[in-house]
Amino acid sequence: MIIVLFGKPGAGKGTQAPLLSAALGVPTLATGDELRAAIRAGTTLGLEAKAFMDRGDLVPDAVILGIIKQALSEPRTAKGVILDGVIRTVPQAAGLNTVCADLGKIVDAVLCFEIDDDEIVRRLASRTICETCQTPFTAREPGATCDLDGGTLVRRKDDEPDAIRNRLAVYQTQTAPVLQWYRDHGTNVAVIDAVGAVDDVTSRALRALGK
Ligand code: AMP
């Protein structure tokens, strides 16, 4: 079961991914989390990605496809994976389909979390994430403690107003066309209302998957 979580930055993909993972029994892959971990570890991958990420620009497709290929060949994803913010350009979507075809797999569904820009700016301006496990929180100040692993909550550099504006523009030009690409290629695309209580959004997503 390969599920692509899609939507603007701040739509709630990172909040929904672990909940859907628990409900469906498949792990998650978030390229944003992988890249932030690489930056913290000071790897070549992290060094290459950092400047793009700080500006709110997309990291090159070849880097992302490398992460996808590696993750899909690991035993932990044998039963499937929930891809959180992993597919953000048409070449990435096409590349994922090729990797899947080589492994005898297909993308089962794309869940697009729908939300308007005003709500995004409000959400991201008040977002912090755990420095270690990267769980996102709303309305919790930097320096507070993560409920899950006791890590320190920090603000993301790309949640500053200028970077948020750039990320929304990048979404419109480079990421939004991916949805039509999936429709044109016969993949099941479900649009989910992402506004409301977290549990309600999870229920809507599961219903869209027939669960
Ligand atoms: P996220 O945590 O999903 O909001 O991602 C944070 C940043 O990581 C993005 O703004 C991009 O700079 C980079 N990134 C994450 N996933 C991708 C991807 N699939 N394609 C290109 N850049 C990505």
C-alpha 191 to ligand 1 mean position (Å): 21
On average, the pLDDT of the chain sits at: 96
C-alpha 139 to ligand 1 mean position (Å): 22
Mutate to test the pocket of ligand 1, among 31, 39, 129 (most ligand atoms within 8 A of CB): 31
Amino acid sitting at position 19? L
Centre a 10 Å sphere on the Cβ of residue 51 and count the other Cβ atoms it contains. Answer: 10
Query: In terms of Cα–Cα distance, which of 209, 192, 200 is closest to 11?
Result: 192
Per-residue pLDDT tens digits for 56-107: 999 999 999 999 999 999 999 999 999 999 999 999 999 999 999 999 999 9
Centre a 10 Å sphere on the Cβ of residue 121 and count the other Cβ atoms it contains. Answer: 16
Mutate to test the pocket of ligand 1, among 5, 67, 88 (most ligand atoms within 8 A of CB): 88
Residues 6+ apart with CB under 8 A from 100: 2, 72, 106, 107
Which structure tokens are listed for 137? 């929180």
Per-residue pLDDT tens digits for 103-142: 999 999 999 999 999 899 889 989 999 999 999 998 899 9
Note the pLDDT of residue 161.
87
66 φ, ψ to 5°?
A: -60, -45
pLDDT surpasses 90 at 207: yes
In this structure, are residues 19 and 202 in contact, taking their beta carbons and an 8 Å threshold? Answer: yes
Taking the complete model, does pTM exceed 0.75, yes or no? Answer: yes
69 φ, ψ to 5°?
A: -60, -45
pLDDT surpasses 90 at 12: yes
Q: How far apart are CA 123 and CA 127, in angstroms?
A: 6
Note the pLDDT of residue 206.
98
Which structure tokens are listed for 97? 């389909």
Which structure tokens are listed for 59? 């990291």
Q: What residues act catalytically?
A: 13, 88, 127, 156, 167
